[in-house]
Amino acid sequence: METLLQQANHMAPVSTEALALYLCQGENMLEQVNKTLRGRSDLSRLLGGNPEQMMFDNHRYHFDFMANVFEFQAYDMLVRMVPWVYRAYINHGFSADYFVVELEAWLTAINNFMAEDGDTVAGVYDFLLKNHGRFVDLASQKTWDDIEYPPGDDTEGELFYQYLLAGDFKECFTLGRNLLESSSSLEHLYLDIIQPSMYRIGRDWESGRISVAKEHLASAIVMRLLATIYPLLQPPPADKGTVVVTAAPNEFHEIGAWMVANTLELDGWKTLYLGANTPRSALLSLIRSEQPKVMALSIAMPFNLRHVKSIIDTVRGLPPSERPCTLIGGQVFRLSDRLQGALGADGYAGNCATAKDMVKKWWETAQ
């Protein structure tokens, strides 16, 4: 991984003009890539019997992802993401050869639709193709979310995870409530029990060990839990001001943002929590009408980064008296060291506890 990161760092950045052309020709290139792949006589082998739609979705994700890599010059994000893509698709039946065929199809499309203006973009695809074997190797290695518990472990974290796998809301609720009664720490429940369990569930899905339905079941249980456990606590008077917390446009991961919202509310903030996938214009008009002190945005998926940058840019352009501090967080920031700075937010926090600390510091400074 380190060697690849170093090599990637030496690749030429994609200019604003080349990115604009890549975006403008996106639909044409997508159509050509889809057509090339559909025309393959060995398509069924490449897809491992999966529906063609899964491949079309992947091509669109790929295009949106690459646009973000180019915009933020985040080649480290590319190197960290590709093994994930390989792993997830290979574990769900795709052949590793599919990626070679796909990347070659993109390269041909780039040459057709971008000509010499696409040289730097083509260079990135050459890099991916040249290192295909390394990416296949990396895909089989352990990652940060391979959380292993010894067999027979009966810690609360392991039990909670097992209850989630079993789809047992009642047991999850009882465990959560008992923990809260004994420690009174919502952050302990969130950070040491629920969060790692959900990371494990994600890894299980990625490795093909559990179905999409089981993953949805686990997230639904956690959301029911967030809604039912939190009211057992008494938030203090909301006298610090208003914060708006939301997941980014097109961002369906909302559990992390919800934890941030509850944690801030328990710290005395009036918290407007908007949930998943809030459209840009709706969010901005709420910011103008409510004039919160903080706008907190959650991002898990790399293809949503550009939307978030554009929201932050707009908020930064508001008159100082109406401009909230902007706070960002979410799993996308594991993929690149560049992103925290590149999005232009006032702060980044890695979890709901550090988010609370940062917002508190801003509030104390403003007093």
Element (H, E) at 3: helix 2-9
| Interface region with ligand B12, contact rule CB under 6 A, candidates 67-75, 104-112, 212-220, 284-292 | 212-220
Query: Residues 142, 252, 271, 289: is their CA dihedral positive or negative?
Result: positive
Q: How far apart are CA 54 and CA 38, in angstroms?
A: 12
Whichever of 18 and 139 has its CB closer to ligand B12, that residue is: 139
- Compute φ and ψ for 41, nearest 5 degrees: -70, -20
Element (H, E) at 263: helix 255-265
SS3 233: coil
Whichever of 103 and 328 has its CB closer to ligand B12, that residue is: 328
Whichever of 312 and 352 has its CB closer to ligand B12, that residue is: 352
Position among 25, 68, 219, 271 found at the interface with ligand B12 (CB under 6 A): 219
| Interface region with ligand B12, contact rule CB under 6 A, candidates 100-108, 127-135, 199-207, 224-232 | 199-207
| Interface region with ligand B12, contact rule CB under 6 A, candidates 157-165, 177-185, 229-237, 325-333 | 325-333
Position among 114, 244, 255, 339 found at the interface with ligand B12 (CB under 6 A): 255
- Compute φ and ψ for 273, nearest 5 degrees: -100, 120
CB of 233 to ligand B12, least distance (A): 17
Q: How far apart are CA 321 and CA 361, in angstroms?
A: 19
Site for ligand B12 in 83-122 (CB under 6 A): 84, 88
Q: How far apart are CA 99 and CA 85, in angstroms?
A: 10
Position among 64, 102, 251, 265 found at the interface with ligand B12 (CB under 6 A): 251
By CB under 6 A, tell whether 203 contacts ligand B12. Answer: yes
Q: Quote the DSSP letter at residue 352.
A: H
Tell me the one-letter amino acid at 292: P
SS3 336: coil
Task: Give me the 47-86 binding string for ligand B12, x by CB under 6 A, dash otherwise.
Answer: ----------------------------------x--x--
Q: How far apart are CA 276 and CA 257, in angstroms?
A: 8
Residues lying near ligand B12 in the complex (CB under 6 A) are found at: 81, 84, 88, 145, 190-191, 195, 198-199, 201-203, 205-206, 215-216, 219, 223, 250-257, 259-260, 276, 296-298, 300-301, 327-331, 349, 351-352, 355
